Chains A and B, each alone.
Chain A
């Protein structure tokens, strides 16, 4: 096999692992955050335990993190990567800033999906004596599931984009390959193949996400 394919194969593996783990961790942080944003919002917006102060503080944090340009956020988070993983360079180290950058995005996507749930259904669940956690896990999340799947799809695609940027600070992956070989060493073929692989990845994820969402909808 030519060096081109070995390079691309390695880089694809790095991209996939970055995207996979950062999706996972951003969901771990973003999902509860999105749920809290929803349930603490005012009653009219579907909040089940409205709490103005908590809602405002969470909302502010999410907004600040989301308005940071990713490349700057990543540099700011180097010390955190070093603290957690002992290094701020490499594929594993990029997962920290990627997860933290995507978490507030995930939180907003989850919040939007959950707020789409018919408030009447939530009222019915309350009238039947559901506890707050039963409303969240047995009503809100199942009712919003198709929309949540679309949100996760969007997150993964965003993370593929971010992970390409992460290459710039030594994170590896397809973005890194395209810059170091394609751009700096004038290897047009490497540039071309990297971009095509990224396109194909995005396409596969989008189509799969749409399929799952449509399948869930068709059962309703």
Chain B
């Protein structure tokens, strides 16, 4: 299901929560929308998921306009959207199976169908045999799994994840992201993932839009954005990603506790050349390596190093940086 947003606007009192957002979210992908708190992401997801109406602008699902549906059509349309939340929002009055059954009950499924589908879904999310479990007995990760099963029960065409991993620890986050990726492939879903965590975008999304003050400031494939960030907000998100322990697949090892001054990123084309030692010889400068590793971004691997550049004279520094960029390395000054 392809989603197209045209000039969406929504304001509360004086605040322009979403200010002229146009996006095209391709079908059958995981699309990230990242922004700091207050950037307007929650409002945007409520607009796209038809929970709220925009003040202005249009929303299309596969070319059909959906922002102006009448109440009856709106209910029917919502029944084929899945949504999961930061705080899971499960029904505490219902056990595991009854939570998953709720959307099917309001959709008029028969008892046999519900029973069959519930055990099928519990298997998909890895909670076989937990039908009777009260919600309060589940861990955060298990609760999100139940929420995912509930969101999938009526075979939605879009799955919205509103900060779905923000309340979970890193290990559980990565397990939940793996599950979402697996389900996306299996069910050919379009997944819209709202987050403030760059590692979520890196690990799960293929495209991303960066939102700031209600506007999209940068948009594109995750691998492109990671290797060539343009906007300061994007760079800020990326700079916080480096040097943090990010789980098994993406480790940037830090062996010096003093932070370096520059982050160097080596995209595919720059990894096969002895760039640093060549520059070191040409200019007579030294690189002190403080951290380094490989980050997997989408399906691409990007080498990352944090370095200090020791120059005999400070006038040499801009030349060195220019040469690094010339060689295809992306250079960022670490802001202190």
Residues on A facing B (Cβ under 8 Å):
118, 120-121, 123-131, 134, 138-139, 142-143, 145, 219-220
The 10 closest A-B pairs by CB, nearest first: A129-B78, A129-B79, A124-B89, A142-B93, A120-B89, A127-B83, A129-B75, A128-B103, A220-B92, A121-B89
Q: What are some 6 contacts across the A-B interface (CB < 8 A)?
A: A121-B92, A125-B102, A128-B83, A128-B103, A145-B93, A220-B134
Across the two chains, which residue of chain B brings its CB closest to A124? B89
Across the two chains, which residue of chain B brings its CB closest to A145? B93
B15 at the interface (CB under 8 A from A): no
**B135 contact set on A, CB distance < 8 A:** 220
Q: Knowing A127-B51, A129-B75 are in contact, say whether A121-B91 is a contact too (CB < 8 A).
A: yes
Q: Please determine whether A138 and B103 come into contact, CB atoms closer than 8 angstroms.
A: no
Q: Please determine whether B93 and A127 come into contact, CB atoms closer than 8 angstroms.
A: no
Bound together, the chains give a CA A125 to CA B94 distance in angstroms of 13
**B90 contact set on A, CB distance < 8 A:** 121, 124
Given contacts A127-B51, A128-B103, A142-B93, 8 further A-B contacts (CB under 8 A): A120-B87, A124-B83, A126-B51, A128-B83, A129-B79, A129-B107, A145-B93, A220-B134
Within 8 A of A (CB), among B66-88: 75-79, 81, 83, 85, 87
Q: Please determine whether A139 and B91 come into contact, CB atoms closer than 8 angstroms.
A: yes
Q: Knowing A127-B81, A127-B83, A220-B136 are in contact, say whether A134-B106 is a contact too (CB < 8 A).
A: yes
In whole Å, how far is B164's beta carbon from the nearest beta carbon of chain A?
12
Residues on B facing A (Cβ under 8 Å):
49, 51, 75-79, 81, 83, 85, 87, 89-94, 102-103, 105-107, 134-136, 150, 154, 160
In whole Å, how far is A217's beta carbon from the nearest beta carbon of chain B?
9
Q: Please determine whether B93 and A124 come into contact, CB atoms closer than 8 angstroms.
A: no
**A220 contact set on B, CB distance < 8 A:** 92-93, 134-136
Complex partner residue of B78 from A121, A128, A138, CB under 8 angstroms:
A128
**B106 contact set on A, CB distance < 8 A:** 128-131, 134, 138
Q: Please determine whether B75 and A143 come into contact, CB atoms closer than 8 angstroms.
A: no
Q: Please determine whether A142 and B87 come into contact, CB atoms closer than 8 angstroms.
A: no
**A123 contact set on B, CB distance < 8 A:** 51, 85, 89
Q: Knowing A129-B76, A129-B106 are in contact, say whether A124-B85 is a contact too (CB < 8 A).
A: yes
Bound together, the chains give a CA A145 to CA B136 distance in angstroms of 16
**B136 contact set on A, CB distance < 8 A:** 220
**A121 contact set on B, CB distance < 8 A:** 89-92
Bound together, the chains give a CA A128 to CA B151 distance in angstroms of 8
Complex partner residue of A128 from B79, B94, B134, CB under 8 angstroms:
B79
In whole Å, how far is A67's beta carbon from the nearest beta carbon of chain B?
34
Complex partner residue of B91 from A126, A127, A142, CB under 8 angstroms:
A142
Across the two chains, which residue of chain A brings its CB closest to B151? A128
In whole Å, how far is A136's beta carbon from the nearest beta carbon of chain B?
13
**A126 contact set on B, CB distance < 8 A:** 51, 78
**B79 contact set on A, CB distance < 8 A:** 128-129
